[in-house]
Amino acid sequence: MRAFLAPEGVKNMIAEIISVGTELLLGNVANTDARDISEKLAELGIDVYYHTVVGDNPQRLTQAVELAKSRSDIIITTGGLGPTCDDLTKQVLAKAFGLELYFDEEEARRIRSWFEKRRSIRMTDNNLQQAYLPAGCTVFRNEVGTAPGCAFYADGVHVIMLPGPPNECNTMLNKSVVPYLRKLSKGVILSHNIRVFGEGESSVESKLRDLMNSLSNPTLAPYAKEGEVMLRVTAKAGTDEEAEAMMQPVLKQVQEVLGDLIYGIDVDSLEQLAVQLLARQGLTISAAESCTGGLLAKRLTDIPGASRVFKGGVTVYTNECKTALLGIDPSLIEEKGAVSREVAVEMARRIREKLGADLGVGITGLAGPDGDGIHEVGTVFVALAADKGCFIRKLQLGDGGRDRVRFLSASSALDMVRRYLTGLPVETY
């Protein structure tokens, strides 16, 4: 990942994010825009010191902007670019920086044509308000909505305004904001994200503490994320090649310490990796889920193009259902229990066979809050059936909430798949 460096080359620029929207203050939605922007800025080597949320209120927004001007190099706003009279971000920011708004004919044309293509939605004159933009700004086209974003530099501060709806904000962030920030850069900051599954943050940290402490450029920093650990290596240098050359020895050292706990570098997620590996090897997968209740299928099918590798799956929540859909012998369930090594393996084998898939996954366990009187809440068996045999993991995920147990169980299944497909040892049955 190529990145941004403050002109002085040493101190990072400081950014803050101001999100505008009463719906955020009412708790209708979480501020995912601020998260997404922050994640991207961190990769670009820009320090984010504050997030602020204010409602659709010009006085309070003005105060937040004045405060931000006094302490940050970059201000990024989200929201308040819509067509209603509540949407005041452009007016407030332009005023705070002494800029006029002008009517951008090209954006007006785009907005009109957006509505013409969607005949079911009528355009009102309000919609054309969105074509007013601060004089001299760089316009960011909105490819998935009507409100354009923009950027300008004034009073020593870089200001960037983005629309609030998460898909519009995110698309503009990746397509326009990142390139815009890069152009400002006189050097580069590159980073790599090392993704780790199967060990906690504190354990990973203690293994790497000496290495982390010995580094200053590049740096190495751990982040806990959804039951995984991510390690980010970041280098500042004059050119991409230099930065890359500085990072390689660190990547190698981390790999020596963590070995195959690392599932990928610069990979999005375990599910994305699994779908990629399957597609590359021309293999298919199927899943029989009990306690995860369709979450593994959902995560696999979150990846566009999953239909080429995911044959399908069953959610077999009840015992009869395990028999009706998979033909599992009721006496096996009776004898070993629905939450058992044997039933997990049988689920994996039978879904694989039933769908003629190359791989079959079976997951059965206790997500909580109720136990079964035999196993502790958080006990999950994950089985993988494949050409080379049957593999199984017993997880003890504890009572950290139903969502967490389900998510980690599905993650563990995906981790078994990646280990199998890359020829690493997997726990055998």
Site for a copy of itself in 74-133 (CB under 8 A): none
The count of other CB atoms within 10 Å of the CB of residue 166 is 16
Estimate to the nearest angstrom the gap between the alpha carbon of 200 and the chain centroid: 19
Run of H or E residues at 214: helix 201-214
Binding mask 381-410 for a copy of itself (x = CB under 8 A): -------------------xxxx-------
- Counting contacts by CB under 8 A, is residue 298 touching a copy of itself? yes
Answer for which of 146, 191, 276, 315 binds a copy of itself (CB under 8 A) is: 315
Q: Could you tell me the smallest distance in angstroms from the CB atom of residue 133 to a copy of itself?
A: 25
Q: Could you tell me the smallest distance in angstroms from the CB atom of residue 60 to a copy of itself?
A: 6
Which residue number, 93 or 137, has a Cβ lying nearer to a copy of itself?
93
Answer for which of 320, 329, 334, 376 binds a copy of itself (CB under 8 A) is: 320
Positions 162 through 221 that interact with a copy of itself (CB under 8 A): 167
In whole angstroms, what is the distance from residue 67 CA to residue 249 CA?
Answer: 42
Helices marked H in 72-177: 89-96, 105-117, 166-172
- Counting contacts by CB under 8 A, is residue 268 touching a copy of itself? no
Phi-psi region of 244 (alpha: psi -120 to 50; beta: other; left: phi over 0): alpha
In whole angstroms, what is the distance from residue 141 CA to residue 398 CA?
Answer: 48
Positions 332 through 391 that interact with a copy of itself (CB under 8 A): 354-356, 368-370
In whole angstroms, what is the distance from residue 333 CA to residue 216 CA?
Answer: 56
In whole angstroms, what is the distance from residue 403 CA to residue 394 CA?
Answer: 18
- Counting contacts by CB under 8 A, is residue 425 touching a copy of itself? no
Positions 270 through 289 that interact with a copy of itself (CB under 8 A): 286-287, 289
Helix, strand, coil % (nearest 5) of the chain? 45, 25, 30
Which stretch in 20-28, 95-103, 262-270, 382-390 sits in contact with a copy of itself by CB under 8 A? Answer: 20-28
- Counting contacts by CB under 8 A, is residue 38 touching a copy of itself? yes
Both tokens of residue 423?
């020829």
Which residue number, 200 or 238, has a Cβ lying nearer to a copy of itself?
200
Positions 144 through 173 that interact with a copy of itself (CB under 8 A): 144, 167
Q: Could you tell me the smallest distance in angstroms from the CB atom of residue 334 to a copy of itself?
A: 17
Which residue number, 104 or 271, has a Cβ lying nearer to a copy of itself?
271
Estimate to the nearest angstrom the gap between the alpha carbon of 349 and the chain centroid: 32
- Counting contacts by CB under 8 A, is residue 422 touching a copy of itself? no
In whole angstroms, what is the distance from residue 100 CA to residue 85 CA?
Answer: 18
